Amino acid sequence: MTLVIKQEKPKSTFSKIVEIISTMASRPSGLIGLIILVFHVTLAITSPLYAPHDYKAIDPSLMLQAPSSEYWFGTDSLGRDVFTRTILGGRTALTVTFFGSLIALLWGGALGIFCGLVGGKIDDVVMRIIDAFLSIPWILAMLLIVSLLGTSTIVLIPALGFFYGKGIVRVARAATHDVIAKDFIVSARARGHGNFSIIWNEILPNVRDAIMVEGAMRWSWMLLGFSSLSFLGFGVSPPTPDWGLMISNARGLMSFAYWAVLAPIFGLSSLIIGINLTADAFAKALGIDRSTKAPV
C-alpha cells in the first residue's frame, strides 16, 4: 500500500491579499477603518464627476451663505461652494501623501535593510547621518525647501517622502538585525550568495511586513504634516481645493460661518482616523503588535 502525501499549493498573491483584508475586516475597528478609507479614496477619484459647482468660481454676492438645498455646506468668504471644495479637497492630499509614503517606504526600507546587513563603518556613518536629519524639525526643513523650490506637487512629494522615510530606515534596520543572525542567512552566505541575493531572497520576505506596517502608519502622519504645510500657506497654491488651506482661510469665521471650517476639519480628521484604524488592523492581520514596541 502506497502512502500518498498531498502537498498544499502555495497561496497566490491575490489569495494572500484577500485573506489579509478578510482578517482586517473581521475586527470592528478594522472594518470601520476600511469603510472610511475606501469611501475617501472613491470620493477622491469620482468627485469631479458630480461636483455641483465650479470649485474656483468666485461670486461676492454669495459669500458666507449658510447651508441650503443649493449649497449643502454653505459658501466661503469668496462665495465658493464649500461642499464642492470639500469633496475635491481630498484628491490632492491623498495623491501627495500616497506617493510620498510610497517613496518613503521604498528608500527607507531599502537603506535600512542594506545598513542592517552590511553593518560596520557604513552602517555607523549612514545612521549618524539619519540621526542628524532626525534632529532637525521637519517643518522648518520643509518650509525652507518649498520657499526655495516652490509648492508644486513635484517638490512636495519627494520632500515629504524623504523626511518621513528616515524613521522607516531605523525600523527596517532593526528588523534586519533580528533576521541576519538566523541560520538561513548563514547558509546563504556559505553557498556564496551576494548581498543583493540575500536581501531579495532571504531578508526582504522576513522584514517586509514590519516595513509595510510602518509605512502605513507614516501615511497618516504625512497627511497631517501636508495639511499643516497647507494651513501655514506652504502647501498647494490657491485656488486648488485643499483641506488644510480651507481651514486656514476660514479659521477666523468660526463665530458666524462655522460651516466653512467644520467641513474640511471633518474631512481631514475622518481620513486620518480611517488610515490609522486600517493601519492598526493591517498590523494585527500580519501578526505585528505595535503596542509592544517603542515608537521610532
Strand, coil or helix: 81: strand
Domain coordinates of the chain in residue numbers?
A: 91-296
Grid coordinates representing 8? 498544499
CA-wise closest residue to 138 among 104, 95, 175: 104
Stretch among 6-15, 121-130, 160-169, 254-263 having the lowest mean pLDDT: 6-15
pLDDT at 291: 53
**What residues contact 125, with CB distance under 8 A and at least 6 apart?**
none
Give the integer Cα–Cα distance in Å for 128 and 117. 17
pTM: 0.84
- Between 204-231 and 243-250, two packed helices, what is the crossing angle to 10 degrees? 30
Grid coordinates representing 132? 542628524
CA-wise closest residue to 165 among 118, 112, 231: 112
Give the integer Cα–Cα distance in Å for 109 and 111. 6
- pLDDT one-digit tens code per residue, 178-198: 888 788 887 877 787 777 888
pLDDT at 237: 80
- pLDDT one-digit tens code per residue, 108-141: 999 999 998 888 888 899 999 988 888 888 888 8
Mean pLDDT to the nearest integer, 52-81 = 88
Give the integer Cα–Cα distance in Å for 250 and 264. 10
pLDDT at 238: 81
Give the integer Cα–Cα distance in Å for 10 and 208. 18
Cβ proximity of 64 and 253 under 8 Å: yes
- pLDDT one-digit tens code per residue, 68-106: 888 889 888 888 999 999 999 888 889 999 999 999 999
Grid coordinates representing 247? 481651514
CB hemisphere CA count around 234 (13 angstroms): 20
Answer with the residue of higher pLDDT: 3 or 187: 187
Domain 91-296 of CATH type 3.30.420.40: no
pLDDT at 83: 92
Cis peptide before 52 (omega within 30 of 0): no
Q: Exposed/middle/buried for 154, CB within 10 Å: 0-12, 13-18, 19+?
A: exposed
pLDDT at 289: 65
